[in-house]
Every structure is written in structure tokens, then in C-alpha cells.
Amino acid sequence: MDESLSLKFNTLEKMKTVGNYEAELKKLSEENFELKHQVAYLKANQNNDNNNPNIQNLLYDSKQSIDIL
């Protein structure tokens, strides 16, 4: 059985289980939630710092990250 072609390509150590996928999905969902809150906070404070280009870049980058997720 060790000579099996499928075991050589898909070793048991490298295979992901449903639990692994669920954990990864939960982690990404939490990260998405945090990014949305950061964007909301920065948009709320944007009126105070309208001339700061770093905040504009951060908002743009955060929005792109959220869109990717």
C-alpha cells in the first residue's frame, strides 16, 4: 500500500480536513470583520483628517482586502 500513486501525491500530512477548512474560514471571517470595523472607524474620522494621504491609502488598501475576501 505504501507504493500507491495516490498516497505519494496526497500524503495524509498534507491533506486538509473539513475541520481545517472550517477553522480557516472562521479565521478569515474574523479578519474580515476586523477590517470592516477599521474601515468604518477610519471613515468616521476621515472628516477630521481629510488632507492626510496616508489615511486615504489605508482606506483604499483595506477596501481591496475586504473585496478579496
Mean pLDDT, range 13-24, rounded to an integer: 87
Give per-residue pLDDT as tens, 26-51.
999 999 999 999 988 888 887 665 55
- Structure pTM? 0.49
Alpha-carbon gap, residue 27 to 45, rounded angstroms: 27
pLDDT higher than 70, residue 8 = no
Enumerate the domain spans of the chain: 28-69
CA angle (35, 50, 60) in 5-degree steps: 35
| 58-69 pLDDT, tens digit each | 888 888 887 776
Degrees to nearest 5, angle at CA 17 with 16 and 18 = 125
